[in-house]
Structure 1
Amino acid sequence: MIKLILIVATIISFALAATDSEMTKKMKKFKIIPQIVSGNVPELLKITFDSGASVNMGNKILPSQAKNQPKVEWNADKHSFYTIVCFDADAPSPADPSLSKLVTWMVGNIPGNDIASGHVLAPYIAVSPPKGKQWHRAVWLVYKQPSKLKFDEPQVDKYTLEGRTNYPLEEFLKKNGIGEPVAGNFCMTKFDPHVLDVYKRLICCNKYNEEKESL
């Protein structure tokens, strides 16, 4: 009986693996699943910057290429509302991700994929790793809301990291009745000179530029 259960479990696990989207497979490879997302990410989120750079399942994009809010597209239902979130999964460094899920952009109540009409919860800044040689995972996720929501989360100030670090994403989703992401994407990024411009505007960031280059 036990042997039969094990065989069935193995068959089910293979069947589930076979249904993984390409995005899910990539996120598993980069350990975004299960570190950040627990389930399948079915659709590729199209993200294009005015620099010409496009996010593509783990490709490398520097902060200077992503300094302005991108154009984002997914297969949205125009009658539904969505939340989009972007964060640094390795802040302040992959060796010490104590500030992981540092939100760099978050917009809720997006009608269809009309982001300009959504409710800004965290104004956009580029994922901006401090000085160091390691690449950070910049993760982008879109969630379908059950309806238009009345958010009581305070809007994050664009000049501070307060409210951005260690963002309680799971709590936010559970409280608002939001399930697994419907689309996502990610890229790798690391320090370049544009980060210094970002840090000049943000309170409490310059200390990270004093860290050793070996981070």
Structure 2
Amino acid sequence: MEESQIIPDIIERAPPQELQVSYGRLKVHLGNELTPTQVKAKPTVHWNAEHYAFYVLSMTDPDVPSRDDHEWREFSHWMVGNILGDKINNGEVITEYVGAGPLNGTGLHRYVFMVFKQPGKINFTEPHADKNTLDGRPQFSTKEFAERYNLGDPIAGNFFQAKYDDYVPTIHEQLGTDLEKK
């Protein structure tokens, strides 16, 4: 994570656990390259969780609109809080999952998953974003989020990289953007 500059772009210290993230048979592994087409559906995610502890999972892209010009750093792709154990489907969806959508010609983007252990159940004040809105997605900060809710350092993390493919316009249309035309 240091070599890929996730530290310090998103977090200060590497998590002790590698988060298990799978898109069907495809596994995310510390920066491997996947395509937006391959990651269009929500992945399965697992970590060594305590059964009666609460967790929050986030997925962000720190490279929006590009790695060199990260004006919208970070872009929130998915966030689920109040996950009991690692039962994500029973957690509180704060930001619905949206797959990778890097602009054409902007190169590889990093898509970073982090899991934080919560100090207890939390009443999140972030606006909830469905899969058809940009609201609450651009200029998200994992560091500030973790500080606001006293989450400390992440306990697990992983990331993949992706660049534009023919599925990206579908993502942008879903979010109601016309970024491809700019």
**How high is the TM-score relative to the length of structure 1?**
0.81
Contact 2:11 2:142 in 1 (8 A): no
User: Could you say which residue in structure 2 is the equivalent of 1:34?
Assistant: 8
Contact 2:60 2:78 in 1 (8 A): yes
- Between 1 and 2, higher relative CO (CA 8 Å, sep ≥ 6) is seen in 2
Contact 1:81 1:111 in 2 (8 A): yes
Give the C-alpha shift of residue 133 in structure 1: 5.1
Give the C-alpha shift of residue 30 in structure 1: 0.5
Contact 1:109 1:148 in 2 (8 A): yes
1:143 is paired with a residue whose SS is strand
Q: CA RMSD in A?
A: 1.2
From 121, 129, 137, give the equivalent of 1:156: 129
Question: If each structure's helix is expressed as a fraction of its own residues, which one has the higher value?
Answer: 1
Give the C-alpha shift of residue 136 in structure 1: 0.5
1:55 aligns with 2:67: no
User: Could you say which residue in structure 2 is the equivalent of 1:68?
Assistant: 41
User: Could you say which residue in structure 2 is the equivalent of 1:210?
Assistant: 181
User: Could you say which residue in structure 2 is the equivalent of 1:101?
Assistant: 74
Contact 1:138 1:187 in 2 (8 A): yes
Give the C-alpha shift of residue 61 in structure 1: 0.5
Contact 1:63 1:128 in 2 (8 A): yes
Q: Which has the larger radius of gyration?
A: 1
Give the C-alpha shift of residue 168 in structure 1: 3.1
AA aligned opposite 1:59? N
1:166 is paired with a residue whose SS is coil
Q: CA separation in 1, counterparts of 2:97 and 2:51?
A: 23
User: Could you say which residue in structure 1 is the equivalent of 2:109?
Assistant: 136
Q: CA separation in 2, counterparts of 1:123 and 1:34?
A: 26
1:28 is paired with a residue whose SS is coil
Q: CA separation in 2, counterparts of 1:128 and 1:184?
A: 21
Structure 2, gaps ≥5 residues long:
none
Give the C-alpha shift of residue 210 in structure 1: 3.3
Q: CA separation in 2, counterparts of 1:87 and 1:40?
A: 16
From 150, 159, 162, give the equivalent of 1:189: 162
Identity %: 37
